[in-house]
């Protein structure tokens, strides 16, 4: 049976959205993947663009509140916010809680090319990390 | 009348959330179903029991509870009494229709700090009941 994974951050707009797309694409046969945020906003267009470059379509994702998952039990809850700069939400219960800090690509200032480069960088870091999921 | 469900949430469910539960039940228990819980199960604070006794409310029989017990339930109001920026273990709870946040410092077991927080909580509860009761 597939293990259920909730990927959690604050906005559910960039990192957790890309992570959801990546994990489902790379290991969707083993994991049932969802993502959510404590303060959902909207999926960043740069996240959609960076994922499209590697052939993964997340354009239909939307930014969701954890409250949409009130009736779900998860095997794993993975937080992907940057603990040095943000405070990651703590999900209650028996789920195995994992954390890995990733910089917030949406916080990068500058021309659109520099922003997109940050999304690509974080996308690649997420993919590398998720290859080992859930071992680390 | 259907009672609205309220969940007070903090780190250990030992002091702030216990006092909030006591006040809301005392002032408007006929209108709200009140539960409090924490990210883990602490011990009921003796200072909170004393501070509430001073205002005529007995919470000595309350049990701290782990909020995981309520996963899967929905609450009309989930009221956070801790701030993640100050207390990293301050949990979230999925299943709120309305989410409120009152930033209250953990009084630990200090009698003085507990009284101060008790009075802050009382003001918040009175305001909450007036707006939502």
- Suggest the residue from A92, A96, A97, A101 to mutate for an interface test with chain B (most B CBs closer than 10 A): A92
Nearest CA in chain B to A72: B72
Does residue A81 lie in a domain region? Answer: yes
Residues A36, A88 contacting (CB under 8 angstroms): no
Average pLDDT score over residue span B74-80: 97
pLDDT of the residue at A93 = 86
Residues B16, B38 contacting (CB under 8 angstroms): no
pLDDT of the residue at A84 = 77
pTM of the model: 0.89
SS3 for A58-114 is CCCCCCCEHHHHCCCCCCEEEECCCCCCCCCCECCCCCEEEECCCCCHHHCCCCHHH
Enumerate residues 67 to 126 of chain B having a beta carbon within 8 A of any beta carbon in chain A: 67-68, 71-74, 84-85, 88-97, 99
Q: Left if phi > 0, otherwise alpha if psi is -120 to 50, otherwise beta: which for A17? A: alpha
Instruction: Kindly report which listed range (A33-37, A108-112, A129-133, B52-56) carries the lowest average pLDDT score.
Output: A108-112
User: What CA–CA distance (Å, rounded) separates B29 from B129?
Assistant: 10
Q: How many domains are contained in chain A? A: 1
User: What CA–CA distance (Å, rounded) separates A85 from A74?
Assistant: 26
Query: What percent of chain A lies above the pLDDT cut of 70?
Result: 99
Name the pLDDT band for B79 (thresholds 50, 70, 90): very high
Containing structural domain, residue A94? 3-131
Instruction: Give the CB-side neighbour count of residue A16, counting CA atoms within 13 A.
Output: 34
CATH number at residue A44: 3.40.50.2300
Q: Copy the structure tokens of residue A28.
A: 């969707």
pLDDT of the residue at B55 = 98
- Suggest the residue from B7, B11, B38, B71 to mutate for an interface test with chain A (most A CBs closer than 10 A): B71
Average pLDDT score over residue span B96-113: 93
What's the topology of domain B4-124? Rossmann fold (3.40.50)
Average pLDDT score over residue span B75-81: 97
Q: Which residues of A are catalytic?
A: 9, 81, 88
The interface predicted TM-score of the complex, written ipTM, equals 0.81
**Looking at the predicted structure, is the pLDDT value of residue B92 above 80?**
yes
Does residue A35 lie in a domain region? Answer: yes
Tell me the per-residue pLDDT of A39-69, one tens digit each, with 9 for 90 and over: 999 999 999 999 999 999 999 999 999 999 9
Average pLDDT score over residue span A83-89: 83
Tell me the per-residue pLDDT of B43-61, one tens digit each, with 9 for 90 and over: 999 999 999 999 999 999 9
Biggest CA–CA distance in chain B, Å, is 40
Name the pLDDT band for B75 (thresholds 50, 70, 90): very high
Chain A residue numbers touching B73 (CB-CB < 8 A)? 70
Name the pLDDT band for A74 (thresholds 50, 70, 90): very high
Residues A94, B69 contacting (CB under 8 angstroms): no
Q: Give the start-to-end residue ranges of the domains of chain B.
A: 4-124
User: What CA–CA distance (Å, rounded) separates B8 from B35?
Assistant: 6
Name the pLDDT band for A88 (thresholds 50, 70, 90): confident
Instruction: Give the CB-side neighbour count of residue A131, counting CA atoms within 13 A.
Output: 6
Q: Copy the structure tokens of residue A50.
A: 């960076």
- B47 to chain A, any CB pair closer than 8 A? The answer is no
Does residue A136 lie in a domain region? Answer: no
Mapped onto helix, strand or coil, the DSSP state of residue A123 is helix
């Amino acid at each position: 049976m597939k293990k259920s994974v909730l990927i959690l951050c604050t906005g559910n707009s960039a990192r957790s959205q890309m992570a959801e797309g990546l994990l489902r694409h790379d290991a969707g046969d083993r994991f049932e993947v969802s993502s959510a945020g404590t303060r959902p906003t909207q999926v960043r267009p740069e996240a959609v663009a960076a994922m499209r470059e590697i052939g993964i379509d997340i354009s239909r994702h939307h930014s969701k509140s954890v409250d949409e998952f009130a009736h779900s039990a998860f095997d794993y809850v993975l937080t992907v916010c940057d603990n040095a700069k943000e405070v990651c939400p703590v999900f209650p219960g028996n789920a195995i809680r994992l954390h890995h800090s990733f910089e917030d690509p949406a916080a990068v200032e500058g021309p659109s090319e520099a922003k997109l480069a940050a999304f690509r960088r974080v996308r690649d870091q997420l993919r590398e990390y998720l290859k080992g999921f859930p071992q680390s | 009348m259907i009672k609205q469900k309220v969940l007070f949430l903090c780190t250990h469910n030992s002091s702030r959330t216990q006092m909030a539960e006591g006040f809301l039940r005392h002032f408007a228990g006929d209108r709200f179903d009140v539960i409090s819980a924490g990210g883990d199960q602490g011990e009921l604070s003796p200072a909170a029991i004393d501070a509430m006794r001073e205002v005529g409310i007995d919470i000595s029989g309350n049990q701290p509870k782990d909020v995981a017990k309520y996963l899967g339930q929905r609450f009309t109001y989930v009221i956070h009494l801790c701030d993640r920026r100050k207390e990293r273990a301050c949990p979230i709870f999925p299943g709120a229709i309305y989410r409120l946040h009152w930033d209250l410092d953990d009084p630990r077991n200090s009698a003085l700090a507990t009284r101060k927080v008790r009075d802050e909580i009382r003001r918040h509860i009175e305001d909450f009941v007036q707006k939502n009761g």
